[in-house]
Amino acid sequence: MSTEPLLHAFLVSFPAQGHVNPLLRLGKRLASKGLLITLSTPKVLSKQMAKANNITDDQLIPVGDGFLRFESFQDGWDDDDPRRAHLDQYMHQLELAGKPAISAMIKRYAEQNRPVS
């Protein structure tokens, strides 16, 4: 009996209150239906999430018939950088650092035979 690989959805959340939890709930719901869900946020936020929930990047967490995992990317700034308080500056930085980081993750998944569906 051959096992088909799970469909792989890649969710990217803005690192602010009110953004992560709804996307996490969506990810859990999709995973429960048999998908592999990767939720990605900048490292500054994933460090806080990991500390609060005892999770690590790329750890598969079973949810229903599928799996959820987290993978963070570096936004290019130190965790305590005061520019984070300025939305326009931070959005620009996320675009500069996030696009290539997320593209690299998606490429790496394809090379590992876990392509994003």
Q: Which residues contact 102 (CB under 8 A, 6 or more apart)?
A: 10, 12, 40, 73
Angle value at C-alpha 75, between 71 and 79, nearest 5 degrees: 100
Q: How far apart are CA 15 and CA 25, in angstroms?
A: 15
Instruction: Spot the catalytic one: 8, 19, 86, 92.
Output: 19
Residue 19 annotated in active site: yes
Beta bridge partners of 9: 37
Which of 81, 1, 3, 9 has the alpha carbon at shortest distance from 42?
81
Judge whether 22 and 33 are in contact, CB under 8 Å: no
Catalytically annotated residues:
19
